[in-house]
Structures are given as structure tokens and as C-alpha cells.
Structure 1
Amino acid sequence: MLRLHRPKVYARYSRVEASHLRRQILFLVGGLGVGVAAVLMARAADLAQDGFRAGVAAWPWLPLIVTPAGFALSCLLARNWFPGSQGSGIPQVIAARKLPSTETSGHLVSLRIAGGKILLMLLGLVAGGSLGREGPTVQVGAAIMQAAGRVASIRRSSLLLAGGAAGVAAAFNTPLAGIVFAIEELSRSFDSKASGIVIMTVMLAGLTAQMLLGDYTYFGSSYVTLAPGVAWIAVPAVAVVGGALGGLFNRINVVWSRRVPGKLGVFIRRRPIVTAALLGLLVAILGLASGSDVSGTGYEAARAAIHQTPADVSLWYGPAKLLATLASTLSGIPGGIFSPSLSIGAGLGLDVAYLLNVDAVQAIALLGMCAYLAGVVQAPLTSVVIVQEMTLNHSMLLPLMLVALIAGKISSLIAPEGVYHALARNFAVPPPAPPADDKATTADSARDSV
């Protein structure tokens, strides 16, 4: 009898082995794809920013023309040709994970949206927008993993989680932060069934990025410390400032995305392209008025603030960068807020250090990065881990944890939840019906500022 059933056992075992092999190939292809995409996006983003700065060096008034025109064109293309590509992309991934398995997620995460995301993000950067590439990398990574997962029977939510985490890890060269981001922000829980997929995809994407770019620390190794004494006064001060402004940024984004009341709201809904152009003009004016480069990710300013040249960063930089990032986000053009938030926090930290007249300027700038990011996303653990991995500064771990916890609490008093999860709700339910006198409102008007 055993001999009669043995061929069936072998056949079943072969099917299991084939399924396991398909999964391994999926992880390999998906992880490598996310890593390559992250590197290419980083290179292209740098070139786009360099192009804008070269133009400004030759014609200082150029942003007054290029930035409004670029914002208007990017908004137009995003609405008409690549719907679902607006904003950072992280809310779309969160919303896609919450969809029932019977519903398609192609309107939130797909290779078409990923392609449009990259192109329009680069358009926004070359036009001088205050945008990041890490949020878009999350959406692109999720799209790659979802596409690769069609050949294997793996839950879509797990694939999206793995792709998003790998996007963060490869973009910043922070593998631990990618895993923590997946747990604390994308899923808001520990999923034991998806943990193996996430870790393996993060590892492959991270290794791919390191092979192409080399092993590096995003902001360079930092060795600053916060000595006991007067410098610790800066911890609650930075936490309150970063948490309050981060919460305010969060609250304005959510209100804007869900319908601004009054005549202003009617104008925004009827004239989204004109609104984007006006916000682009505001970004250009902020750069000229503050004397600071508020365009792009803000990487150079953040690095200068936490190393040896904080004097190179104007005291107006933090507030100007915050307003420029807010205007860029509200315009609805594709682009993230992760890197700009770190840069804003560094600038605000310098301002706090100046007002308190303390010497530990670089250390307080580092605290500012963590405080403002925690205020925006309300994910303290992710904020601490990502800043620590970006700088490899172990001596600042305790004050970073303290400032992130305080900032998160302060932010929650202004905004009920983090900006990504709040904006993800715009995709979970249909937008409210337009008023009778607002015939020009389109179906996706409530989703533009994500």
C-alpha cells in the first residue's frame, strides 16, 4: 500500500519544492529590483537638483518662472495621466495594504504609477520644489514587489510591506530603520507571517544598493555629544518646537486634503492647476527672500548643521524650508517629505541653540532632526533609529529617544495621528459629495495633497 501512494507523496513534495523555489526567485528579483530602483532614483534626483541650482547660479530670478510652471505641469500630469502618484506615496501603500483581498490595488500601487511617480518627482525637483525621494521610493518598491509577487501565492499586504520597507532601507542605507518603519508605520503591528519576507527583501535591496554605491553613512559619521548641564535644557525645548511645528504641518496637510472651507476651498477645488502654480511661486519667493536654498531634499544643509559648518546654514533656513515643503506638499505634485523633514529639523535645532546660547550646536541640530520628524509622522522609534543609523552616533541615543517621545506627544495634541495614516484615509473612503455650486470639482479633489 505504501508503494502505491508513494508517487502521490513525491508529486506533492515536488509541488511544495517548486512553490518554495518560486518564492525564493521572487524575493531575489524583487529585492534586487527595489535596490536598483532606489539607486537610480537617488542618482536622478541629484542630477535634477544640480540642474536647478546651475540654472539659479546663472539666472537668480529663474525660480520665479520655472518653479510655478513646473508645479503646474507636474500637477496636471499627475491628475490626468498618473492618478495615484500624488504626494509621497506612503499613504497609498498604507491604504493598499488595508484593501480587502478581493479588491484590486492598481489605482494605488502599480508599475504605471511607479513610472509616473519617478518622472514627476524629477520634474518637481528640477523645477525647484522642496521634495524628497524616499517616500516615492517606498511606493516604487511596493509596486515592484507586488508585480513580482504575481507569480507566487503570497499575500499582497506582505509584499507591499516588504517593498515599502526595502525602499526606505535602500534609499537611506538604513536596513534596521527599514524594518522598524515597516512595523511601526506601514503596518502598526508586528506581523510574524510577513517578518521573513520583510527581512529578506530589505537585506537584498540593501546589499544591492551597497554594491552600486558602496557602504556609506547617509549624513556621515557624527561624534557629537550632549554634555550634562546647560545643554540638556535644549532637549525639552527642541522637543516642544519640533513636535508642535511637526504637528501643525501634519494638521494643515490633512485639512487641505479633505476640503478647505469657504471661498478659498472652492477656488482650490475649481483651479487645482492654478493653485499649484501659485504655491510654486510661493516656494520661489521663500528661497529669494530668505537667501537660502530651500529647494530639493535639503541634504546639504542638514549635513552642514550636524557637522562642523553650522554657520553655513542661515537662521532663516529652518522656517523657510518648512514653509517651502508645506507649499510643495499642498500643491499635490509627486514628492516626499522624509528628507525635507530632517533638513527642517536640523535648521530648527540651530535656531533653538542660538536662542538658548549654548555651545553644543551640532548635537542640538541632530535632536531637531529627530524631534521634527517624530512630530510629523508620530513614529518615535522610527525617527530615533533612522537618525541614529544615518549618523552612526551612539552617544546621542538616549537624548534622541527622549526628544522623540516628547515631540510625538506634543504633536498628538495638535493632530490626532501621524500624517501618513491620516492621509491614507483619503483612499479608504470616497471623497465627500461636492456642493451644488461646485460643479467643477473632480472625483479625486480630496486626494491631491498626499
Structure 2
Amino acid sequence: MKLSIPKKSFQFSSRLNKAFLMPARYIIMLLGLSMLTGLLTGIIGTLFHICVDAVFQWRNGFIQQFNQHPILQWLLPAVSTALMLYLAVLIVRRFAPEAGGSGVQEIEGALEGSRDIHWQRLLPIKFISGVLTIGSGMVMGREGPTIHMGGNIGHMISVIFKTSSDNRNTLITAGAAAGLSAAFNTPLAAILFAVEEMRAQFKYGTYSVQAVAMAVFVAAVVVRLYMGQVPAINMSHFAAAPLKSLPLFLILGLIFGILGILFNRYLIIGLDLFSRNRSSNNTLLILLTGGVIGYLGSIWPETTGSGDLTLLWAMQHTGAISLLIVLFFIRIGTTILSYSSGAPGGIFAPMLALGTLLGLWFGHYVNVYFPTLNLQPGIFAVAGMGALFAATVRAPLTGIALSIELTNNYTLILPLILTVATATVTAELLGGKPIYSILLQRILKRDKQL
């Protein structure tokens, strides 16, 4: 008996196949472009790391040749930092004004359509000026430039392959997240950063989040081929804090919540101070800023730089506890001065160092007044890292993941959650706003005035 199958069933099957095959091609293309974005961002981020370290070491090596000279031992650091900073700011202002600062606010502006991306000029200018700035010892981090460059790489891929506007935003977000992963070797924090920090601009969907994750994954692989599979911060592994000590972390969170608001406020005051000055005065101010940072670095190296040396010094410090709080306040000043200059660089790394210093100082006094708890001060340092970041940026999940991945201390998850959540809620209730939202609004207001 011959079976006859209605022709319409074949048509239904054809439509069904097409309905499944089209999304499959779409998904493969999107994930493939995201992985390409992550690959290029990982390579650029690694090269940026290498160049920054090379310039920093070359400068220090040259200066050390004159460390016995009574004048040159402090004059050379001051002059070299001043000239490198001035050159970096000059290049930015002349060729790519949007390259100044961290760049996170520029990426957020591009995603919401209020800022344009000019990747052809941004990528070389951000790279060169960022190497000059951070290599000179200014108190700025690599993560700002790599996030900014990563977002621009995502846009570049979108333009080359002529993707839709939704896919373009996905690739920009994927590139920015890959840039954070490349800077800190923290893939989970990078994914959460895209979800939290860009939540107002990024259109979430199953495949858009997967695209971000794949870009971050590829960038992390590239970075680990160079750095190895080790945390970015060489820190001891701490035992879990006893549950009865958790109220102390709530107090620490309150302190960091208030501090986050003050930090944001004074950072904007610093930016306004530099922008209000006329051209000649502004040049002198930039040279003076570089000179002060360079001089401080010659007499106390831990007061300057992105924070790597500061973290190591603080965790190994066995001297007077008061030095921790003195260094904390000095680095607040140098961080605000450095960022206010308009040079390219991030504030994540400096904030991590500030959180560590204040957390350690707090932890030492906990041991003085609560000796039976037997808590190592380093536990409060790890909690402080995430708390200041969360209070300032208003991205608590990113702050938690960043602290854990950087230090490899998952056992401190409960103190971290409590400290970060308290800092975030405190900053919110006191009327503070996320720093990158403030910076973006400031840029848009300036553009309207021009």
C-alpha cells in the first residue's frame, strides 16, 4: 500500500527547518565575532601590559643611576613624570579628546547613542598615551584603557562585518568586558561588570550574554598564556572569618559607603579645577601635578603607581599602623590629582589599593580591641577592595567577584557580601551616584555648552 503524504506537511517542515537554521547561523556569527573581539582585545591588552611595564622599568632604571646624587635623585623623577604626563595629555587633546580618563563612561555613552566611537584614532592614541601616563608612575590603572580599547575593537568588528545595531552594541559590550578581563585576569568579574555597569544600555538576551562570556573567555586565555594561571595579586589564603565577627564587616561597609560618596565628589571637584583653568594655567597645572607625583614616588614609591607595589607593601607591613592610614590619605590625593589631569588611565586599580590600606588599618584595630576573634587584618583588606569599588562604581556583584578572583580567597565570601552590600546601600541612601554616570553626564553637559 502506497502512503501519500500531503504536500503541505513538506511545506511546514521546510518552514520549521528554516526557523531553526536561521537563528543557528545568527548565533554562530554573533559568537564568532565576539570571540574575534575577545582575541584582539586580549592581544592588545597583553601588549599594553607589556609596554607599560617596560616603560615603567626603563624609567626607574634610568633614574636609579643617579640615586646617589643629592639633587638628581629627586629632580629626575619629578621632571620625567611631568614631561611624560604633559606629552600624554597633549596627544589626547590634539588627536582624540575622548581618550582622556578611563573611557568606561565613553563606552556607556556609545551604547545609549549619546557618544560617537572613532576607533581609528582612539585605539592608537589611547594605547600610546596610556603607556606614557601609567609608565610614568601616575596613580592610574591599566583597566580603564583596556576597557575603552576593547569596546572600540568591538565597534570596529561590527563596522567591518556590517552587523545590526543590536549586534553592534553586543560587540561593544563584549569588547569592554574582555578589556577588564585582560587587565586583571578576572573573567567572572568582567562578565558581571558588563551585566551590572552597562545594564541601562545593554540589551540582555540569552545569546548577547553568551557573546560577552565568550569574548571574556578568549581574552582571559590570551592573557593567561602570558601571565600564567595565577591570581593578579599575590596574597595569602585566609581562613573563613567566624560568624560572630560579621557585625564588624557591617561597620566596615558603612565606612566605605561614606568614603565612596566623598571620593566621587572630590574626584569631580578635581576635574572641574583642571577644566576651569585657561590653556597656559592648565599646562602649568599638569606639569606641576606630574612633578609632585614624580617627586613623591622618589621618596615613597608606594604613594604612586597603579597600586601593585602598594598592595605588596601593605600586606607585608609590620611597622607602625599609623603609616597605613597616612599612606591611604596620600594616595587619595594622588589618585584624584592623577585622574583630574585628563590623562588616560583607570581608577579601579587605585581604588583597590585604597580599599586594601583602609581595610588593613581597620583590621589591625579589630585585633587590638577584639583579640579573642583572632582575625587576620588581611581579611578586612580583601573586604575593603570590593567595598570601595562597589560604593564608588555601584556594581556590588562585580566588586565581590573582583576581590575573590584577584586574591583567590573564596573563603571570605560571606564577609565580602556583607561589606560590599552595606557599602552599596549606604552610598545609595546618602544620595550618592555611580561615578561613571556622573562622568558621562559631565561630558554631555560640556558638549552642550560647546
Q: TM-score range by the shorter chain?
A: 0.7 to 0.9
Question: How far apart are 1:162 and its partner, in Å?
Answer: 0.7
Distance 1:266 1:30, change over 3 A: closer
Moved more, 64-73 or 31-40: 64-73
Any conservation in 1 of the 2:107–2:148 contact (CA below 8 Å)?
yes
Question: How far apart are 1:332 and its partner, in Å?
Answer: 0.5
Any conservation in 2 of the 1:287–1:320 contact (CA below 8 Å)?
no
Question: How far apart are 1:415 and its partner, in Å?
Answer: 5.8
Distance 2:147 2:43 in 1: 13
Distance 1:18 1:229, change over 3 A: closer
Q: Map 1:277-292 to 2 at 5 A.
A: 277-287=287-297, 291-292=300-301
Question: How far apart are 1:219 and its partner, in Å?
Answer: 1.2
Distance 1:12 1:374, change over 3 A: closer
Partner of 1:437: none
- Residue 286 of structure 2 aligns to which amino acid in structure 1? A
- Residue 41 of structure 2 aligns to which amino acid in structure 1? V
Distance 1:226 1:12 in 2: 51
Question: How far apart are 1:242 and its partner, in Å?
Answer: 2.8
Partner of 1:371: 387
Any conservation in 2 of the 1:226–1:360 contact (CA below 8 Å)?
no
Structure of higher CA gyration radius:
2
Distance 1:178 1:340, change over 3 A: same
Partner of 2:155: 146
Any conservation in 2 of the 1:165–1:181 contact (CA below 8 Å)?
yes
Distance 2:242 2:32 in 1: 52
Moved more, 132-141 or 374-383: 374-383
User: Which residues of structure 2 form unaligned runs of 5+?
Assistant: 1-6, 67-72, 369-374
Q: Map 1:178-217 to 2 at 5 A.
A: 178-188=190-200, 191-192=204-205, 194-217=208-231
Partner of 2:70: none
Distance 2:107 2:248 in 1: 36
Any conservation in 1 of the 2:253–2:423 contact (CA below 8 Å)?
yes
| Among 129, 134, 151, the residue aligned to 2:143 | 134
Partner of 1:29: 36
Any conservation in 2 of the 1:243–1:406 contact (CA below 8 Å)?
yes
Question: How far apart are 1:310 and its partner, in Å?
Answer: 3.0
Question: How far apart are 1:73 and its partner, in Å?
Answer: 2.0
Moved more, 381-390 or 185-194: 185-194
Partner of 2:442: 426
Distance 1:53 1:320 in 2: 21
| Among 263, 271, 294, the residue aligned to 2:303 | 294
Question: How far apart are 1:216 and its partner, in Å?
Answer: 1.7
Q: What's the % identity of the aligned pairs?
A: 27
User: Is 1:51 aligned to 2:58, yes or no?
Assistant: yes
Distance 1:274 1:409, change over 3 A: farther
User: Which residues of structure 1 form unaligned runs of 5+?
Assistant: 434-442, 444-450
Distance 2:222 2:297 in 1: 36
Moved more, 311-320 or 24-33: 311-320
Partner of 2:188: 176
Distance 2:209 2:415 in 1: 29
Partner of 2:132: 123
Question: How far apart are 1:336 and its partner, in Å?
Answer: 0.7
Partner of 2:343: 333
Distance 2:402 2:55 in 1: 25
- Normalized per residue, the structure richer in helix is 2
| Among 65, 78, 93, the residue aligned to 1:79 | 93
| Among 382, 391, 410, the residue aligned to 2:426 | 410
Partner of 1:273: 283
User: Which deviations, in whole Å up to 9, do the C-alpha atoms of 1:360-409 show, x marking residues without a partner?
Assistant: 22112222222222222122111111101111212111111111122223
Distance 1:285 1:247, change over 3 A: farther
Distance 1:157 1:18 in 2: 19
Coordinate RMSD, CA, aligned: 3.3
Distance 2:264 2:278 in 1: 19
Distance 2:377 2:55 in 1: 31
Report SS of the residue matched to 1:79: helix
- Residue 116 of structure 2 aligns to which amino acid in structure 1? S
Q: Map 1:203-282 to 2 at 5 A.
A: 203-220=217-234, 222-225=236-239, 227-228=241-242, 232=246, 234-257=248-271, 259=272, 266-267=276-277, 271-282=281-292
